[in-house]
Amino acid sequence: MRPGRPLSTEPREVPIVNTPQVTRRLRAAEAIQGARRARKDAARRAVIARQLDQIAPGTTRVRTVPVSTEHDGEQRLATAVALDDALGLPVAADRDAHRAARDLLRRMFPAADWARPQVYDAITGALAVDEPTMPEELHA
């Protein structure tokens, strides 16, 4: 008798047998799909980074902020765009470069909520809601 088995002479409804588990195949398939997804994400991140560098050389972070403006008595929604380098310093770029960077991100992330401030980091490939935070020193 193997340890851990109950001592019983009654017949079992479900016999204890070694049944093949499909978890190995499922895990392998999930690993393959995960690797494919990672390669696809890395390629996408590289494409966006390359295009941002073509638009405004040195750009690694793009911040977008929707701004409500009034022009001739009519309310309009505009988007302010900031292009930063790896040190967080602003990249010298003209209005067309800012517009091109915004349009690139909107095309690459159509499901994002562009009515909220967003920040894209070309190094990590992450697009996130850009919410203001209080410095750690000011926390009570």
- Amino acid residing at 65: V
Query: Residue 125 belongs to what domain range?
Result: 23-138
pLDDT of residue 69: 85
- Is the separation of the CB atoms in 101 and 83 below 8 Å? yes
Contact in structure between 52 and 103 (CB atoms under 8 Å)? no
In a domain, 15, yes or no: no
**pLDDT number for residue 16:** 57
Over residues 106-122, the mean pLDDT reads: 94
Question: How many alpha carbons lie under 13 Å from residue 42 in its C-beta half-sphere?
Answer: 6
Domains of the chain: total: 1
pLDDT value of residue 27: 78
| Residue 21 structure tokens | 């588990």
pTM more than 0.75: no
Tell me: pLDDT of 60 over 90: yes
Q: What share of the chain is helix, strand, coil (3-state, %, to 5)?
A: 35, 20, 40
Residue 116 confidence (pLDDT) above 80: yes
pLDDT of 10 > 80? The answer is: no
Q: Domain for residue 1, yes or no? A: no
**pLDDT more than 90, % of the chain:** 57
- 80 neighbors 116 (Cβ within 8 angstroms): no
13 part of a folded domain = no
Average pLDDT along the chain: 85
In a domain, 10, yes or no: no
Quick check: is 2 in a domain? no
99 part of a folded domain? yes
Length, in residues, of the chain: 140
Q: Is residue 6 part of a domain?
A: no
Is the residue at 39 inside a domain?
A: yes
